[in-house]
Amino acid sequence: MFVTRMGGVAAAVGSAVGLGNVWRFPYETGQNGGAAFILVYLCCVLLLGFPLVAAELMLGSTTRRNPVGALRQLAPRTAWPLVGVLGAIAMLLVVGFYSVVAGWTLQYSVTSVIGGIPDFGEFSSHFTMPFVCMTGFILLNVFILLGGVRKGIERASNIMMPLLFLMMLVLCVNSLLLPKAGDGLAFLFHPDFSKIDIYVVVSALGQAFFSVSVGIGTLLTYGSYMRDGSSVGKSALSIVLLDTLIAILAGVVIFPACFNFGVEPGAGPGLAFITLPDVFMQMTGGRVLCTIFFVLLSVAALTSTLSMFETPIAILQESFGLRRRNAVIVVAATGWLLGVGCTASMCPDWKDTIAAFGMPLFDLFDHVTACYLMPGCGLLFSLFVGWVMPRHLIVDTLTDHGRRSARIVPVFIFVVRFFAPLSILVIFLSGSGIFEKIMALLFA
């Protein structure tokens, strides 16, 4: 159990804050019209992200169990616990490719110090250095996880989250001092409502869903570690607000720099590893700024993977009776083996061999988790809380056992029963390409 409420919130925010905030959110904003996208995104976070975060924390805090144990306790002798199993599988698959990307951030952090930014295409297509960096990143996770919940995860989160905010603020100040910072801020904060269409709304829904790290049970596990008397509503609101703040600060870092140096804001994922290093190196103190940026990415990745490792560890401890040390070794070794496969699949000589369904292993894991497992598990978790979880537990949790008004309860139940499942279904259809085909047929 977490020692303090703030420690628990820091760990949960760390779980939610990942590369998606610093990497995906800016280019999603750039591709979808800047501030108009942000306004839609904020609405989606409040209507979808907040209720789903609260739902996962609620399941964990009321049962004090991991995702499998929580669903087994609330729905014994049913198939519902399999949702927790699917979530754990999804986490390990995500760790497989995510640790590879996190390894890239470690490599760039080191090379930024010595001033030699590698060519991304050449670096990522070789095996040795990405393998070493991925392995180093996994070992960082193991070092922290062996310390347990209090001395490992909570202590590390209490250090890394303030550090992440500090680095973000340093980069923000530097970007705001650039000559054309006003153009970048205007793009970020001046809405052009003509840009908003159904596709922008769907993109914002997807970003809101994936950004707050719901759907696979990481926050459920952290919810089971919350101190007695902690407010689920306050914790959920803190998580989504801080997660959103970091995403917007990332935009403040990136867009002034893009406008100042003539870079396309919607340049895609390559913005982080190809474009921005060149931009930083053109600034005064560029080597230091570039190092801070990639250390920031490394910290964001590490806080996320800790939660993705912790849930399978908790399942092995609670359901199979493994000692924590052994559970950490088993889960980390599994994640490492998947990471080795994903690293090798990025190499031109092996990508056709280490592949399935016509995709390299790296792309396959990304596709399966983002398009199927995460939306599928998120949909089922939402339906479970809305239709299966005893209503009195929902009321007790949202009202802090009668200390707060119950007016939010009907709204929450409506959202998790109807709005959230429908939204997640749209996200699934969009990720699988079906939504675009439906829209093309409707408006042909």
Q: What is the pLDDT of residues 7-29, one digit of tens each?
A: 788 888 888 887 777 767 877 88
* pLDDT tens readout for residues 130-151: 999 999 999 999 999 999 998 9
Q: Which pLDDT score, from 0 to 100, does residue 274 have?
A: 74
Q: Is 80 exceeded by the pLDDT of residue 359? A: yes
Q: Which pLDDT score, from 0 to 100, does residue 405 have?
A: 80
Number of domains in the chain: 1
Closest listed residue to residue 243, CA positions, set 14, 35, 5, 2: 14
Q: Which pLDDT score, from 0 to 100, does residue 351 have?
A: 74
Q: Is 70 exceeded by the pLDDT of residue 266? A: no
233 and 393 Cβ atoms separated by less than 8 Å: no
315 and 66 Cβ atoms separated by less than 8 Å: yes
Q: Is 70 exceeded by the pLDDT of residue 409? A: yes
Identify the band that residue 35 occupies on the pLDDT scale cut at 50, 70 and 90.
confident
Q: Which pLDDT score, from 0 to 100, does residue 212 have?
A: 86
Q: Which pLDDT score, from 0 to 100, does residue 163 have?
A: 93
Identify the band that residue 268 occupies on the pLDDT scale cut at 50, 70 and 90.
low
Euclidean distance between CA atoms 108 and 130, whole angstroms: 11
Q: What are the backbone dihedrals phi and psi of residue 269, each rounded to the nearest 5 degrees, phi first?
A: -60, -30
Q: Which pLDDT score, from 0 to 100, does residue 265 have?
A: 63
Q: Is 80 exceeded by the pLDDT of residue 269? A: no
Q: Is 70 exceeded by the pLDDT of residue 350? A: yes
Q: Which domain range does residue 388 map to? A: 5-442
Work out the average pLDDT over 35-54. Answer: 92
Long-range contacts of 271-279 (CB under 8 A, 24+ apart): 271/23, 271/26, 271/27, 271/30, 272/19, 272/22, 272/23, 272/297, 273/104, 273/108, 273/120, 274/120, 277/108, 277/112, 277/117, 278/117
Per mean pLDDT, which range of 43-57, 78-92, 101-115 is the poorest?
A: 101-115
Work out the average pLDDT over 310-333. Answer: 95
Q: Which residue would you say has higher pLDDT here, 372 or 120?
A: 372
Euclidean distance between CA atoms 330 and 145, whole angstroms: 12
- % of the chain beyond a pLDDT of 70: 97
Euclidean distance between CA atoms 415 and 402, whole angstroms: 21
Q: Is 80 exceeded by the pLDDT of residue 302? A: yes
Q: Which pLDDT score, from 0 to 100, does residue 100 have?
A: 94
Euclidean distance between CA atoms 422 and 201, whole angstroms: 13
- Neighbouring residues of 23: CB distance < 8 A, sequence distance ≥ 6: 269, 271, 272, 297
* pLDDT tens readout for residues 184-219: 888 888 887 888 888 889 989 988 898 888 888 999
User: What is the identity of the amino acid at 193?
Assistant: F
Work out the average pLDDT over 243-255. Answer: 89
Q: Is 60 exceeded by the pLDDT of residue 382? A: yes
Return the top range by mean pLDDT from 309-313, 318-322, 399-403. 309-313
216 and 294 Cβ atoms separated by less than 8 Å: no
Closest listed residue to residue 89, CA positions, set 230, 216, 175: 216
Q: Which residue would you say has higher pLDDT here, 372 or 279?
A: 372
Q: Which pLDDT score, from 0 to 100, does residue 18 have?
A: 78
Exposure of 221 by Cβ count < 10 A (0-12 exposed, 13-18 middle, 19+ buried)?
buried
Q: Which pLDDT score, from 0 to 100, does residue 267 have?
A: 57
Residue 44, both tokens: 């989606």
Q: Is 60 exceeded by the pLDDT of residue 421? A: yes
Q: What angle do CA 180, 120, 102 make, to 5 degrees?
A: 90
Q: Is 80 exceeded by the pLDDT of residue 55? A: yes
Euclidean distance between CA atoms 287 and 184, whole angstroms: 22
Output the average pLDDT for the chain: 88
